[in-house]
Amino acid sequence: MKPVEKLSLLFAASEAAPFAKEGGLGDVVGALPKYLARLGHDVRVVIPRYYSVNLEKYGLRLLPGTLVVPMGIIGHMYCGVYEGRLPGCDVAIYFLEHEQFYGRASLYQEDGQGYLDNDNRFVFLSKAALELCKMLDFHPDVIHAHDWHTAIIPALLDTTYLHDRYVGDAASLLTLHNMQHQGNYYPGLMEVLGIGWKHFNYLDLEKDDQVNLLKGGIKHATLLNTVSEGYASEIQTAEYGWGLEDVVRERASDLYGILNGVDYDEWNPAKDPFIAKQYSDRTVKSGKAACKKDLQQQLGLPVRDDVPLFGVVSRMVKQKGTDIIAEAIHRILAMDVQFVMVGNGEPWAHFYFGDIAAAYPDKFACYIGYNEALAHKVEAGADFFVMPSSFEPCGLNQMYSLAYGTPPVVRATGGLDDSVENFDEDALTGDGLKFHQLTATALFDTIGWAAYTFYNNPAGMKALRKNGMKKRFTWEEAALKYEALYRLAIRRRRGEEYFRNRFGE
Ligand code: ADP
Ligand code: GLC
């Protein structure tokens, strides 16, 4: 086999599991580098050092020296750097220590209100990631940016860092995990970016008289990708583009879709330490029965095996269809079913579902907050997993559900549509139940179909479970696709001749 031409890769992101995570972005940044390293590449990761990053637990070490980060009109700012390793591998991860920006309880917000200096916090992260290369004497081939937080990196590489010794010829890949959040700020942010006002125009960073950091990334990145193929097409439409569909369409030929993988070391019912009874596809029936009982006990619901139990684990926001669950829930609970929710998010939802739990103590339970163990228990103990998202770039929980033999009930959008196959009662094919319209009625009808299947179609239930458990979404496969994109990006940025000399292709 041809030896691997080792690539140097820098991931710059706002979260990485298990150190700091709010959603799937953290899962991806915590997992993908591990699999790229297994392919032989030199991968490094940089994120902020929030208070939640536990220095002792992970044995993080403060590096000598200080990073000097030019913040335009604010002047130079300084930060320390901690170094650690992603668990279970040798990938180095760096944490930017800046008390004023990151010494806080949460990553992005408190009480539903984003921090007012998020613009400076993440511009700082983006610039510090580039300065870090100097400190480490690291010459990345590709800098891999994620979402709006680090989306300005490609524009920095095209401007103030164009002739930088370390990163000047680095290609960039911007992964779009979510188009809703774009980093929209007042024009004065241009003075902090320090790349010149000429970039404040509608062909560049400006959108509706504001600086739009994500737009800057879409314009400048060498290549772009989304986390499912479906979402790559969707964001070129007005329904899913959040106002940037035209900008995305202009770059359609540089946009790819790569479905996320699942970390099966973490999400595997045969090895899961959080669940009451571990099980495989051969023991799924008895295993799930024990886990269901445990979940019912944990959440104070009557222990019954003869009733279908529906589970949700999610941020409680409109994206996840929390509003249509709220609208449909009385109708759903009129059936003989149980329903559990684990999540937090918009304050209205905390109150609303708290009231529902009080009104239907025998049927509905919710846990407001973030709880890793309970998330695993729901995946294993529920009969169906519910994900009625209004949009879903990839979605990880439906993939976890499939692995746990818990058929997902999903709205057919983005990654949910790509990863779940609709149940066919005659052929006994498919692994989940899908609906299309974003309405409470469509959700209710599909939950009704699931309940009917639970009560009346044991062969169908068995097929749904087994078909899901057979499916695999591996990071190995995704890492190979990313590797190909990195090579293409290098070719674009450094030219054909460089590429031929380097890779002999
Ligand atoms: P998103 O990133 O849009 O929130 P994903 O499905 O990609 O959606 O990823 C969500 C991740 O966060 C999953 O790993 C899920 O288990 C986890 N998660 C979400 N809410 C909670 C919660 N309340 N407690 C524990 N884990 C949660
Ligand atoms: C975002 C998306 C989610 C995706 C995750 C990881 O948070 O909302 O669908 O799975 O990123 O890529």
Q: Which atom in ligand 1 lies closest to the alpha carbon of residue 319?
A: 3
Nearest of 278, 265, 266, 264 to residue 380 by alpha carbon: 278
What would the pLDDT profile of 153-178 be if each residue is shown by its tens digit? 999 999 999 999 999 999 999 999 99
When pLDDT is averaged across residues 198-206 and rounded to a whole number, the result is 98
Name the one residue in this structure whose structure tokens are 């940025």.
493
Between the CA of 184 and the centroid of ligand 2 the distance, in Å, is 20
Give DSSP secondary structure letters for 396-427: SHHHHHHHTT--EEEES-HHHHHH--B-BTTT
The residues with which 338 forms a beta bridge, in sequence order, are 309
Q: What pLDDT sits at residue 1?
A: 46
pLDDT classification of 343: cutoffs 50, 70, 90: very high
Q: How confident is the model at residue 2 (pLDDT cuts 50, 70, 90)?
A: low
Q: How far is the CA of 323 from the centre of ligand 2 (A)?
A: 19
Distance 23 CA to ligand 2 centre (A): 7
Instruction: State the ligand closest to the CA atom of 259.
Output: 2
Identify which of 313, 316, 368, 374 to mutate to test ligand 1's pocket (most ligand atoms within 8 A of the CB): 313
Instruction: Output the CA angle 28-310-428, nearest 5 degrees.
Output: 85
Per-residue pLDDT tens digits for 352-408: 999 999 999 999 999 999 999 999 999 999 999 999 999 999 999 999 999 999 999
Q: What pLDDT is stored for residue 4 in this prediction?
A: 61
Nearest to 389 by CA among 461, 322, 307: 322
Alpha helices in 92-205 (DSSP H): 99-102, 118-136, 153-158, 189-193
Q: Whose CA is nearest to atom 20 of ligand 1?
A: 314
Residue 33, pLDDT above cutoff 70: yes
Q: How remote is the CA of residue 26 from the centroid of ligand 1, in Å?
A: 9
Using alpha carbons, list the distances in angstroms from residue 306 to 173, 302, 309, 337, 457. Answer: 50, 11, 9, 9, 13
3-state helix, strand, coil in the chain (%, to 5): 40, 20, 40
Atom of ligand 2 nearest to the CA of 260: 12
CA of 315 to the centre of ligand 1 (A): 6
Closest approach atom of ligand 1 to CA 387: 6
Q: Quote the ligand 1 centre to 456 CA distance (angstroms).
A: 32
> Rounded mean pLDDT of 302-310?
98
Task: Give CA–CA dist 460/458, Å, rounded.
Answer: 5
Q: What is the DSSP string of 261-287?
A: -B-TTTS-TTT-TTSSS---SSSHHHH
> Mutation test of ligand 1: which of 179, 314, 400 has the most ligand atoms closer than 8 Å to its C-beta?
314
3-class DSSP string for 430-488: CCEEEECCCCHHHHHHHHHHHHHHHHHCHHHHHHHHHHHHHCCCEHHHHHHHHHHHHHH
Give the number of C-alpha atoms closer than 13 A to the C-alpha of residue 475, restricted to the C-beta side.
20
Residue 64 preceded by cis peptide, ω within 30: no
Tell me what percent of the residues of the chain surpass a pLDDT of 70: 99
Phi, psi of 424 (to 5 degrees): -115, 110
Whether 5 has a pLDDT exceeding 90, the answer reads: no
Alpha-carbon distance 314 to 317, whole Å?
8
Q: Is the pLDDT of residue 126 over 70?
A: yes
Contacts of 248 (CB under 8 A, 6+ apart): 179, 218, 224, 235, 236, 241, 255
**What is the tens place of the pLDDT at every residue in 446-494?**
999 999 999 999 999 999 999 999 999 999 999 999 999 999 999 999 9
Which are the contacts of 83, defined by CB distance < 8 A and separation ≥ 6?
60, 61, 62, 63, 92, 93, 94, 95
**Which domains does the chain carry?**
8-261+475-503 (3.40.50.2000), 284-470 (3.40.50.2000)
The pLDDT of 220-247, averaged and rounded, is 98
Provide residues with CB under 6 Å of ligand 2: 23-25, 28, 177-178, 227, 260, 392-396, 415
Which ligand is nearest the CA of 376, by number?
1
- Ligand 1, atom 14, lies closest to the CA of 24
Q: List the residue whose alpha carbon is closest to atom 1 of ligand 2.
A: 177
| Protein residue closest via CA to atom 10 of ligand 2 | 395
Which of 29, 32, 148, 227 should be mutated for ligand 2, with most atoms under 8 A from CB?
Answer: 227
What average pLDDT does this structure show over 131-141?
98
| Farthest CA pair distance, the chain | 70
Q: Compute, in angstroms, the gap from residue 309 CA to the centroid of ligand 1.
A: 20
User: What is the DSSP secondary structure assignment for residue 94, as one 8-state letter?
Assistant: E
- Rounded mean pLDDT of 13-39? 96
Query: What mean pLDDT do residues 337-365 have?
Result: 97
Question: For a pocket test of ligand 1, which of 175, 315, 411 has the largest count of ligand atoms closer than 8 A to its C-beta?
Answer: 315
Q: Mean pLDDT over residues 10-34, rounded?
A: 96
Q: Ligand 1 pocket test: which of 178, 319, 397 has the largest number of ligand atoms within 8 Å of its C-beta?
A: 397
Alpha helices in 137-271 (DSSP H): 153-158, 189-193, 213-220, 229-234, 245-250
Angle between the 347-359 and 322-333 helix axes, to the nearest 10 degrees?
10
Running DSSP on this structure, what letter comes out for residue 505?
Answer: -
Closest-approaching ligand to the CA atom of 22: 1
The CA distance from 308 to 339, in Å, is 8
Q: Which ligand is nearest to the CA of 181?
A: 2
How far is residue 13's CA from residue 350's CA, in Å, rounded to a whole number? 29
If you average pLDDT over every residue of the chain, what do you get? 97
Q: Is the pLDDT of residue 141 over 70?
A: yes
- So what's the pLDDT on residue 433? 98
Q: Which residues line ligand 1 (CB under 6 A)?
A: 23-25, 27, 313-315, 342-344, 370-372, 375, 394-397
Nearest atom in ligand 2 to the alpha carbon of residue 414 is 9
Task: Look at residue 503 and tell me whether its pLDDT is greater than 90.
Answer: no
Tokens 């190909």, residue located:
484
Question: How many Cβ atoms sit within 10 Å of the Cβ of residue 283?
Answer: 14
Our measurement of the distance from residue 288's CA atom to the centroid of its chain's CA atoms, rounded to an integer in Å, reads 27
State the pLDDT at residue 3.
53
For ligand 2, the distance from its centroid to the CA atom of residue 228, given in whole angstroms, is 10
Nearest one of 129, 166, 141 to 29, comparing CA atoms = 129
Residue 271 CA, chain-centre distance (Å), reads 23
Torsional sign, CA 420, 242, 490, 189:
negative
Q: Tens of pLDDT along 406-443?
A: 999 999 999 999 999 999 999 999 999 999 999 999 99
Angle at 109 between CA 103 and CA 111, to 5 degrees: 120
Compute the distance from residue 397 Cα to the ligand 1 centre, in Å: 7
Residue 21 CA: nearest ligand 1 atom is 12
Q: Please report which helix (H) or strand (E) contains residue 311, including its range.
A: strand 309-316
